[in-house]
Structure 1
Amino acid sequence: MSDTHTKIAIITGGSRGLGRNTALAVAARGIDVIFTYCNNKAEAEKVAAEIKASGRKALALQLDTGDSASFPAFAETIAAALRDTWGRNHFDYLVNNAGHSAPGPIATMSEEDFDGLYRVHFKGVVFLTQKLLPLIADGGRIVNLSSGLARFSLPGYAAYSSMKGAIEVFTRYLAKELGPRGIAANVVAPGAIETDFGGGAVRDNADLNKFVASVTAMGRVGVPDDIGPMIANLLADENRWLTGQRIEVSGGMFL
């Protein structure tokens, strides 16, 4: 039987960090969740179990968002899951969250690291979104993740931040081209957050943590609960007239 009233979100990189927090926050708002993980199936299954325990449906799917050749098959898997689990042909929300860090100064950064960041943070987002566009319901939402580093500059993050800058421009074009379908596309740009991202440096390096807090208006480092609920809120109908915007959620870093 079709469940046309329940909303469905797809979140990439949902097994840990901000993606995990976002998946749980979205589920807490009564939305079913399909999320991807790259390698850690055990952690993904824990997140799925937690969502199911809250009363929502959850499905964890393996996907390397840097491997664009796998996207057509992934889209077919999504289409089958929508039919089999929800009796539907479309989902409502796409959150492109998956990512990694490969810091290094411009003088010594490798092409391998650069290409890896490009495949995951820019090319992967562009072409995964493209392949899923036929499955996104009219009136849906797309949220892409950028970074505060696309606005302010810290040595060592030139490549990563450049990909995020590209995503911000791409998102404005998504908003323009998908507007006729009533699909809103926005960017959320977190500041420094205490997660395992980048080896957990912001979380575990006391000096770095103190520095971030010192340049943040709110006087502390961000935590995942500062981001996931904000993204979940952005998907709500109350924000239907918001599109093509960059929303920085950094507690006021480098104001």
Structure 2
Amino acid sequence: MSAYALEGKVALVTGGSRGIGRGIAERLGREGAVVAVAYARDAAAADEVVEVIRKNGGTAFALRAELGTHGDAAALWEAFDAEITAYAPGGGVDIIVNNAGAGLYSELSSLTEEAFDAVFAVNVRAPFFIVRHGLDRLRDGGRVINISSGAARIAMPNIIAYSATKGALDNFTLTLAKELGPRGITVNSVAPGIIDTDINADWLRGDAEAEKGAASLAALGRVGQPGDVADIVAFLASDDSRWVTGTVIDATGGSGL
């Protein structure tokens, strides 16, 4: 991919203030995109990502968007519309990255209806309606990239509801690719495995045995890093991926083979 492959493009990254989302936001910024860093609660973390992108010569702004309630997607786009013209005259968006997600550790026997509804609200309903309300803003030839999980193809009873949300997201990707294809818009999923982020820090970092065990699950023999996922997203966001759509790209390092 050439330098500044996304120059002139506008990207929205949900959950962009930390972990995989931060890696994606910073990478798209380095490729020349104007990046809207959407976050739920941690404004300081989002501002830090924006500052890093700007220090590297890019353009970005933070956007508060707490997901998981009815009307969340509409509110996100209203906030986006209020900010974007200051950075990209004419508004609109070229790349939507549905990265924000909620985890849920629970087996079927202990799963509550409230927890089930909450995880589906963030992981499925929010991406669905972010795209639904974003269609009039998404330019022809654009990109929708959904961050799924390797858990969608690996049986893991302790996260059964979470895995189901990612399976639903992958089907959304497949169907949406068919619907938006006539506009030249590609839609793909990226499915990470275990990634060394803050969300996994309490059990992974500082524990050599835990890291060894996590690394052993991958054919490539190590724990993934946010950049491993961000690089794939940058490819899917670029013109280099113009003939790839309706696909789930496995980013687990070969876990569960």
The two structures have a TM-score, normalised by structure 1, of: 0.94
- Structure 2 SS opposite 1:85: coil
Cα shift at 1:204: 5.2
- The match for 2:78 is 76
Residue 195 of structure 1 contacts residue 203 of structure 1 at CA under 8 Å; is this kept in 2?
no
Cα shift at 1:200: 4.1
Residue 18 of structure 1 contacts residue 228 of structure 1 at CA under 8 Å; is this kept in 2?
yes
Query: Which whole-Å CA distance do the structure 2 matches of 1:99 and 1:206 have between them?
Result: 27
Residue 9 of structure 1 contacts residue 32 of structure 1 at CA under 8 Å; is this kept in 2?
yes
- The match for 1:45 is 47
- Structure 2 SS opposite 1:185: strand
Query: Which whole-Å CA distance do the structure 1 matches of 2:68 and 2:201 have between them?
Result: 19
- The match for 2:3 is none
State the identity as a percent.
39
Greater Cα shift, 38-47 or 223-232: 223-232
Cα shift at 1:199: 5.9
| Alignment RMSD (CA, Å) | 1.7
Paired letter, 1:40: D
Q: Which of these residues, 188, 209, 212, is aligned with residue 190 of structure 2?
A: 188
Cα shift at 1:195: 0.8
Q: Which of these residues, 58, 61, 64, is aligned with residue 63 of structure 2?
A: 61
Q: Give the 5 Å matches for 1:145-224.
A: 145-197=147-199, 200-203=202-205, 205-224=207-226
- The match for 1:9 is 11
- Structure 1 SS opposite 2:136: helix
Query: Which whole-Å CA distance do the structure 1 matches of 2:210 and 2:239 have between them?
Result: 38
Cα shift at 1:159: 0.3
Give CA-to-partner distance per residue, 1:117-153, whole Å, 9 cap, x none: 0100001110111111110110000000110010112
Greater Cα shift, 195-204 or 121-130: 195-204
Paired letter, 2:22: R
- Structure 1 SS opposite 2:108: coil
- Structure 2 SS opposite 1:192: coil
Unaligned runs of 5+ in 2: 1-6
- The match for 1:248 is 250
- Structure 1 SS opposite 2:155: coil
Unaligned runs of 5+ in 1: none
Compared CA separation, residues 170 and 231, structure 1 to 2 (3 A): same
Residue 150 of structure 1 contacts residue 165 of structure 1 at CA under 8 Å; is this kept in 2?
yes
How many residues align? The count is 252
- The match for 1:96 is 98
- Structure 1 SS opposite 2:62: strand
Paired letter, 1:16: R
Paired letter, 1:114: F
Paired letter, 2:187: A
Query: Which whole-Å CA distance do the structure 2 matches of 1:199 and 1:242 have between them?
Result: 34
Is 1:87 aligned to residue 89 of structure 2? yes
Paired letter, 1:59: F
- Structure 2 SS opposite 1:134: coil
- The match for 1:232 is 234
Cα shift at 1:213: 1.4
- The match for 2:119 is 117
Cα shift at 1:49: 0.7
The two structures have a TM-score, normalised by structure 2, of: 0.93
Residue 68 of structure 2 contacts residue 121 of structure 2 at CA under 8 Å; is this kept in 1?
yes
- Structure 2 SS opposite 1:20: helix
- The match for 1:23 is 25
Cα shift at 1:43: 0.8
- Structure 2 SS opposite 1:84: coil
